[in-house]
Amino acid sequence: MIIENNFFKDTHLFFKDVSEKFILPNIGKLNINDVSDKPDFSKVTKFDLLVENELIKFFNKLGFNNIISEEHSSTLLKEKSYLTIDPIDGTRNFINGINKVVIMTSYIENEVSIFSIIYDPVEDLFYHTFNDIIFKNFIEIKKIKYDKYIGFLGDHAKIYFKDYVSNTIEKKRSRSIGYDVIEVIEGKRSFMTIYGSKIWDLFPAMSFLKILNFKTNLPNMKFDFAKLDEKIIFYAEL
């Protein structure tokens, strides 16, 4: 897949348009018929589905035919190249009127991230990775020097990850992995723990954290499906 020069700017404009139609007017304004439970007891709204359908159509037109998305089951787990989509990362925030929701996508080829996108529709902030560079609204972000371990560890995680971070400053999760990654990029968080994540959550996050040279308890930073059931910590080198 060749990424054209205007691909990211066109994608930003499309994400903004979809957000203005379906996400921004409905944050915290859903009724009971707009929300249902998935088999894993997580929540899904009709707007998750609407946004996802729009994104799938958009990327299909650009030639991305192998798509793994949150709200539609997929049989593409053996494909060597695929695009992941999380239409509303932070669905509970969306339902509860908390402005910490993002759109996430990642394109993987042969276990390597070609690009990833995290879009904050509330602030109209478009973060993307490409050629091992992170951009914020198309301006390259310089890597941050972290001097403290800031993040969230529950009681179990404090034991499980005690050999990786210490003297931590507690900062609650945003309930959106993508939004937590934005806080990492902005220097407001310096470690993250992810348990039992899905591919559409983990792979975009990994793309950004890898470029930031975060360390991890994983044996490597390949984008393979074996990592989906792991208890993972990503942390900055102080």
**Beta strands, E only, the chain:** 35-37, 43-45, 67-69, 81-89, 102-109, 112-120, 125-130, 133-136, 139-140, 150-151, 169-170, 191-195, 215-216, 231-235
How many domains does the structure of the chain reveal? 2
What local confidence, expressed as pLDDT, does residue 180 receive?
Answer: 98
What local confidence, expressed as pLDDT, does residue 224 receive?
Answer: 86
Are both 180 and 227 inside the same structural domain?
yes
Q: Is the pLDDT of residue 2 over 90?
A: no
Model confidence, pTM: 0.95
Are both 34 and 123 inside the same structural domain?
yes
Residue 186 resides in a domain? yes
Asked if residues 149 and 71 have their Cβ atoms less than 8 Å apart, the reply is no
Are both 49 and 113 inside the same structural domain?
yes
Residue 204 resides in a domain? yes
Question: What are the beta bridge partners of residue 107?
Answer: 83, 115
Tell which of 78, 106, 140 closes a domain. 140
Residue 53 resides in a domain? yes
130-147 pLDDT, tens per residue?
Answer: 999 999 999 999 888 999
Domain span at residue 32 reads 7-140
Residue 225 resides in a domain? yes
Q: Is the pLDDT of residue 78 over 70?
A: no
What local confidence, expressed as pLDDT, does residue 123 receive?
Answer: 98
